[in-house]
Chains A and B, each alone.
Chain A
């Protein structure tokens, strides 16, 4: 698409917000689907809205698109509150999970639909539609009807139909959900490439954490209608701030303890571990410390350590997963199989070590 100015290396030109959600709430009768969320989305970013089923992702997206009226709160698009405007007055476009291609119109007419509403016609219309079809790699299919295309092709047409309007923001609600695994992987990279090329802000809803990690510059993790944490994929993985995020993105070992110093936490069995000072800032009393299984090393030599007996082990080729019973609770550890015959038998005693830098701190469990 020539007319869209690509933003250099996908980074925002200015630190300008494309979307601001302010105290956004949606209630359906007795269900609070979205509970007072506030969020800033920067221009030109690939944003992923990630969370378990029913956490309010679709509802949030539909409110931004204008298909659902917020019960409370503001939705600012480029600084203007659009919360009460109908969808056709908002500079956003949506790629629906079901694609929602118009079955009675040809591919050309589908892609041209938005442009025609804005009075674009003739050669200009044909050129723009052609460019959009080329962008998604489907030039030449413009005379077909949607049902003559495969699922993957329909998905691309839905994308072209939305992008051709050059919206300020593109909303995608699980657009890859209906595709098989191989096609989904392909489309993930393809979507990323297209986003890079057109430089439009993408807000992509998914409940697949791997998909979010692969594609997004920033991830918003939602749970039960509220936002748990926002950050870059590595930030969310290395420094989750809530037990939910720690458990939702990958596997975490969470051990309960009490803060006993600026950078020290005493676990339930009395072991003291050191954590980054920043991780304890503003906290007191009971907390949980977390370590990712691949950050644990067998043997000592690290500042933090814990011993336990091997309760279970699973050999999975590149690594072996052990579950250890320790006095502080069960601990999962992944060990690279970089030497032959290094397996540890069940019942053996091991000492695990890890660096304080790899330790994160989250709230204590409510019910304990």
Chain B
């Protein structure tokens, strides 16, 4: 290996190393989802089997936990993205009193430690005697997802040419038609990205959820509870399942944008 070769490929090598670092844990999780552990812990390789995948819900409680997580993530990401888009529009478009403060407040949940958020939300719910469960989880998830949605959509709106909307109105489109025909299609990629981001953040949130879940068990809480007595390989199955769904959705988004850009 000559020096020139190394120099030419140093970036490649570095990238491979970096990707390995990122992907190795996931690869291990994926591999161990096919393991046939002898004991209760899935830590050493014993043999290959499909049965963890075919019997993914064989562990009592795992199916309802997965369902709850998906349900919460779906509703929370839609609500948070809707709210976040409107907030981003307001923050970028309108000068109003308290805009700077609102900007700051939106940023707060992103920079506050989750454990603080979770604890204070719990205090809040207890003080208002709100029964803990589905609704408190949903409220908490919408709350911390909204910030991510606002930031994502805002980034797109800042570079938005206002003349485009003026041109639409100039050509006879009222405010609503202008939003539908011009604004929305142009910020759609950001909205989609926000949706995916919120879903991914919500589906695997543990810290905040643990505080406000009450008797309900989401998938991360299930894993936490199970891990103290056993780690069935089904946990790996579900984990990889979530991962594959998220990655597929993101790739689909990227491909869609590229295809659009090419056609454009």
A165 and B186 within 8 A (CB): no
Q: A118 touching B166 by the CB < 8 A rule? A: no
Interface centre among B161, B171, B263 (most CB of A within 10 A): B171
Contact B170 A87 (CB under 8 A): yes
Which residues of chain B come closer than 8 Å to A161, judged between CB atoms?
171
B163 at the interface (CB under 8 A from A): yes
* Any A CB within 8 A of the CB of B264: yes
**B10 at the A interface (CB under 8 A):** no
Chain A 220-233 interface mask (CB, 8 Å, partner B; 1/0) = 00000000000000
User: Which among B169, B172, B177, B264 is the interface contact of A103 at CB below 8 angstroms?
Assistant: B264
Chain B interface residue count, CB cutoff 8 Å, equals 21
| Residues of B contacting A117 in the complex (Cβ-Cβ under 8 angstroms) | 171-173, 177
How many A residues face the partner with a CB closer than 8 A?
Answer: 26
Contact among A96, A103, A147 for B166, CB-based, below 8 A: A96
Chain A 98-116 near chain B by CB (<8 Å), digits 1 or 0: 1011111000000001100
* Interface-centre pick from B163, B166, B170, B172 (highest chain A CB count, 10 A): B170
Shortest beta-carbon distance from B170 to chain A in Å:
5
Nearest-CB distance from A112 to chain B (Å)? 10
**CB nearest to A167 among chain B residues:** B170
User: Are B171 and A93 in contact, with the CB atoms below 8 A?
Assistant: yes
Chain B residues with Cβ below 8 Å from A104 are: 185-186, 260, 264
Contact B167 A88 (CB under 8 A): no
In the assembled complex, B139 has its CB within 8 A of some CB on chain A? no
User: How many Å lie between the Cα of A88 and that of B165 in the bound state?
Assistant: 11
Q: Check if B164 sits within 8 Å of A102, measured CB to CB.
A: yes
Number of A-B residue pairs, CB cutoff 8 Å, is 67
Residues of chain B within 8 A of A98, CB atoms compared:
161, 163
CB pair A113 B171 closer than 8 Å: yes
A102 and B168 alpha carbons, distance in the complex (Å): 9
Chain B positions within 8 Å of A67 at CB level: 166, 169-170
Residues of chain B lying within 8 A (CB to CB) of residue A270: none
Complexed CA–CA distance, A142 and B199 (Å): 39
Bound: A96/B170 CA distance, A: 10
Across the interface, A87 reaches (CB within 8 A) one of B164, B169, B186, B264, namely: B169
Instruction: Mark B153-183 against chain A: 1 for CB-CB distance below 8 A, else 0.
Output: 0000000010110111111111101000110
Nearest A residue to B186, CB-CB: A104
Q: Which residues of A contact B172 (CB under 8 A)?
A: 88, 114, 117-118, 165
B interface residues, Cβ below 8 angstroms from A: 161, 163-164, 166-175, 177, 181-182, 185-186, 260, 263-264
Please give me the 6 A-B residue pairs with the lowest Cβ-Cβ distance, nearest first: A117-B172, A114-B171, A100-B163, A100-B167, A87-B169, A145-B264
6 contacts across the A-B interface (CB closer than 8 A): A87-B170, A93-B171, A104-B186, A104-B264, A114-B171, A145-B264
